[in-house]
Amino acid sequence: MTVHLERDLQQLKRSLLETSTLAEQAIRKATAALAHQDLELARSVVDGDAEIDRREIEVEEEALQILAIHQPVAIDLRFIAACLKINNDVERIADLAAKVAKRVLDLGGQVAEFPEIPRELLELGDLVINLLRRSLDAFSRGDVELAARVRLDDDQIDGLHRDVFFMLREQMKRDPELVEPASSLLSVSSSLERIADHVTNIAEDVIYMVGGAIVRHPGHGVRGADTTAS
């Protein structure tokens, strides 16, 4: 690897991690807005989404420029490919965080009395934030073992989302006046579950980045890829 290529790859990594940090902050703010019924905080998440969109484009342009100038191969090429895919997932995560914030605003404006937020839904938010933090740590450190654990932990989030769904469905059956707010809460739960799916994608891209194994579709991955070729 040339000195210039190494410098550009490190800058690409920093840019992606900065964008990822903004997306993580958006989720934290959105879930905090939900827990505390903080409409101003929710609005700040919605307003901040445009900045993350702008940064996503900049990261993509950086990656494409490196490809054009340096024509990297092997590990370096996998790293850039992974960055492009992770960048897209990060942008989608931020969009979903904004969607959660919009549902908080909906809840604040609905006629029915604001319902008590289910403990399980708040727990789901905490688990998703933790999962994202760990996946970004795995990317930053190139930690395949941590990435593999993130993939496994997504099942817990899927299960909790199902619990919230059934709980809210029963609430709507018992009290028709809570259909609107319960529907908004169900949308929040679905958005959090989808965020976890994108986080899992990031973990899978880390595994590919480090070892060249494609694990997104079991049974179709490349095994035993060289992690040292340059």
> Taking a C-beta distance cutoff of 8 angstroms, is the pair 135, 196 a contact?
no
CA distance 150 to 144: 10
CA distance 21 to 26: 9
CA distance 147 to 207: 7
Residue 224 has pLDDT above 90, yes or no: no
At 47, the pLDDT band (50, 70, 90 cuts) reads very high
At 209, the pLDDT band (50, 70, 90 cuts) reads very high
Domain ranges of the chain: 3-211
Residue pLDDT, tens place only, 88-133:
999 999 999 999 999 999 988 765 555 678 999 999 999 999 999 9
Residue 219 has pLDDT above 80, yes or no: no
- The predicted model gives 215-227 an average pLDDT of 53
> Taking a C-beta distance cutoff of 8 angstroms, is the pair 26, 45 a contact?
yes
Look over the chain and give the mean of its residue pLDDT values, rounded to a whole number: 91
CA distance 192 to 184: 13
Nearest to 44 by CA among 89, 87, 105: 105
Looking at domain 3-211, its CATH class is mainly alpha
Q: Which residue has the tokens 């905490």?
A: 126
Share of residues in the chain with pLDDT > 70 (%): 90
Q: pTM of the entire structure?
A: 0.90
At 162, the pLDDT band (50, 70, 90 cuts) reads very high
At 175, the pLDDT band (50, 70, 90 cuts) reads confident
